[in-house]
Amino acid sequence: RKEVEQDPGPFNVPEGATVAFNCTYSNSASQSFFWYRQDCRKEPKLLMSVYSSGNEDGRFTAQLNRASQYISLLIRDSKLSDSATYLCVVKDSGTYKYIFGTGTRLKVLA
């Protein structure tokens, strides 16, 4: 079983739609969680950290469910510029490495 699993997509959605991505992780001792965004042939960039209480940043909402070991990202009112690959990232306690999922591709259509 992969340490961090994501549906690779692609998710093709119309502008203005709401879309949700889920990600599951295997290590219950994991401590830190993130969503990164990666545009085609570019480096990943931090979209948001995911805290236990959940957090929101404009149109983006991230949730963490430790009991079920999954993280979610909700994007409301999708824009064309949201088209990218969204990478789920987990950092285990006591280690220094980020574990990335394979990413979920999103295409927002006009």
Partner 1 sequence: ETGVTQSPTHLIKTRGQQVTLRCSSQSGHNTVSWYQQALGQGPQFIFQYYREEENGRGNFPPRFSGLQFPNYSSELNVNALELDDSALYLCASSLPLAGGGLYNEQFFGPGTRLTVL
Per rule CB under 8 A, is residue 99 in the interface with partner 1? yes
Distance of alpha carbon 17 from alpha carbon 79, whole angstroms: 9
- Applying the rule CB under 8 A, the residues between 31 and 60 that interact with partner 1 are 31-32, 42-46, 49
What is the nearest approach in angstroms of partner 1 to the Cβ of residue 6? Answer: 8
Decide: is 87 part of the binding site for partner 1 (CB under 8 A): yes
- 61: which residues sit within 8 A by CB, 6+ positions away? 54, 55, 73, 74, 76
In whole angstroms, what is the distance from residue 5 CA to residue 21 CA? Answer: 11
Binding stretches for partner 1 (CB under 8 A):
4, 8, 31-32, 42-46, 49, 87, 91, 95-103
